[in-house]
Structures are given as structure tokens and as C-alpha cells.
Structure 1
Amino acid sequence: MRLNSRYFALGAFAVIAGLLWFYYSEYQQKAKDYDELETKYQTQVIAIKDQQERIKHLSEIDTTRLQELTNAKSKITQLSDDLRTHVKRVYVRAECPVPETASPAGLDGSRPARLEKDAEQDYVRLLGELETLEAQFLGLRDYVKTECR
């Protein structure tokens, strides 16, 4: 009987040791998996923070460029209004050949050349388009500088 109880105790010890070894190896594997996931998580957190900083910076650039474009468009609108109400005039810098004969008394040859009304409107429209294109170009340039660093 003593022999049986020794074998039983030895068998029970072996089973318990086997279970402990099994659960310990499972624990080690889970700890390793946890560490890998924690590393991946931290990498993702850093990437998200970096992306948020980029988005914030791009938003600031967008706000700045939009404000500049709005200011330019308001100046162009003001110029258009001033041209329409004759507060300001658009003059053309041009050289005209002087005729050999004197001009008739009714014409003033010393006045600077001035654009026609439709040409003034075209000038204002083109000026507005130029401001828009310049703002778009500068915005894209800043975007490329920010994203392609």
C-alpha cells in the first residue's frame, strides 16, 4: 500500500508539474503577444499624433491662404466699385507716335490714354482670376512643403 500511495503521489506531482509547465508556457506566450500588441499600439498612437499635427498645420495654412484670398477679392471688388463710380481710373502706359502736324484745338493730346469700360471690367476680372490662381498655387506649394518633407 505504501508503494501505491508513493506512485500515486508521484503521478499527481507529475500531473501538477505538467499542468504548471503548460500554463506557464501559455502565460509566457500571452505576455509575448501582449508586448507585441502594446508596441504596435504605441506605434499607432505616435502615427495618429503625427497625422493630427499635420492636419492642424494644413488647416492653419488653409485658413491663412483663405484669408489672403478673401482680402484680395475684397480689394478687387473695391477696385471694381471705384472704377464704376469713377473714384479711380485705370490708365494705360503707352507711347504713341507724335504726328507731324499739330492736333486740332478740340482734342487734348496731353491726356494719358485710358481704358474703355469693357476693358476695365476685363482688367478687374483678370485681376481676380490672377489672385485666385496665385492663392491656389501658394496653397499647393505649402501643402507640398508640409507633406513631402
Structure 2
Amino acid sequence: MSIRATVIAVLVALITALSFGVYYYHDKYSEAELDLTLAKQIITDMQTRQRDVAALDAKYTGELADAKSKLADLQRCVAAGKCGLRVNVIKQTTSTPSLDDATSARLSDTAERDYFTLRERIETITKQLTGLQQYVREQCLK
């Protein structure tokens, strides 16, 4: 009977060891499956964000190109003499009015060029800043 008891004890020990192994590896598999599910969710979220950022970039790049195009059209119109830039001038003089005072004020070529450069830079920074603000609101603050 002692051999039978020994065999039963060995079989119980073997079944216990196998059960422990099965449960151990089942837990590891469950953890890996959870990690994989989480990784898939993160990848999906990242892809969605990348699409959103690409759409946002395309929108503001298009708006900036449109603004630059309009400014270039205005600059060509002024250069061709079809359009003019309106200048408000307050002339302070102590002399008496003469014939020279009858001409309208006009920007010098350098001032006109500087005006268009400044307008282009203002448009550029405005579009960039607006795009960055929307990016922060839509992507960073989520």
C-alpha cells in the first residue's frame, strides 16, 4: 500500500504543479492580451490625431497661401497703377499754401515695398498663430 500511496502522492504533486503552470501562463497570456488591446487603442488614437493635425495643417496652409496670393494681387495692382494705397497725412506747416500742397500724398517706393512686406509678415504670423492655437485646443488639451 505504500507504493500506491506514493504513486498517488506523486500524481497529486504532478497535477498540482501542472495546475500551477496552467494558471501562471494563463495569467501571463491575459496580461499580454490586455497590453495588446491597450496598444491597439493607443495606435488608433495616434492615427486619428495625425489625421486631425494633417487636416488642420492643410487648412491653415491653404489659408496662408490664399492670403499671400491676395496680397500679391494687390501689390501688382498698385504697381500697375490700377489701385492706390490710401495714406492719411496730417501736414503741419507754417508756410502759406502753394501749388505743391494740392498734390495728394503718396508713399515712396521703399515705403510701399516695406508696407507690403509688413502686410505679408502680419498675414503669415496671424495664420501660424491661429493654427497653433487651434492645435493646442484640439490636440494638446484633450
- Do the structures match in fold with TM over 0.5? yes
Q: Secondary structure of the equivalent of 2:82?
A: coil
Q: Paired residue for 1:49?
A: 44
Is residue 2:115 matched to residue 1:120? no
Bigger CA drift: 125-134 or 76-85?
Answer: 76-85
Q: Paired residue for 1:19?
A: 14
CA distance in 1, matches of 2:23, 2:80: 84
CA distance in 2, matches of 1:131, 1:121: 16
**Match for 2:130: what amino acid?**
L
Q: Paired residue for 1:129?
A: 121
Q: Paired residue for 2:5?
A: 10
Q: Paired residue for 2:77?
A: 82
Q: Paired residue for 1:95?
A: 90
CA distance in 2, matches of 1:99, 1:17: 118
CA distance in 2, matches of 1:74, 1:121: 16
CA-based RMSD: 2.0
Superposed CA deviations along residues 48-106 of structure 1, whole A, max 9, x for unmatched, are 222222221111111100000010111111122112211211120123347674423xx
Structure number with larger C-alpha Rg: 1
Q: Paired residue for 1:148?
A: 141
**Match for 1:129: what amino acid?**
R
Percentage identity across paired residues of the two chains: 26
Aligned length: 141
Q: Paired residue for 1:3?
A: none
Q: Secondary structure of the equivalent of 1:22?
A: helix
Q: Secondary structure of the equivalent of 2:17?
A: helix
Q: Secondary structure of the equivalent of 1:54?
A: helix
TM-score, L = length of structure 1: 0.83
CA distance in 2, matches of 1:138, 1:73: 16
Q: Paired residue for 2:68?
A: 73
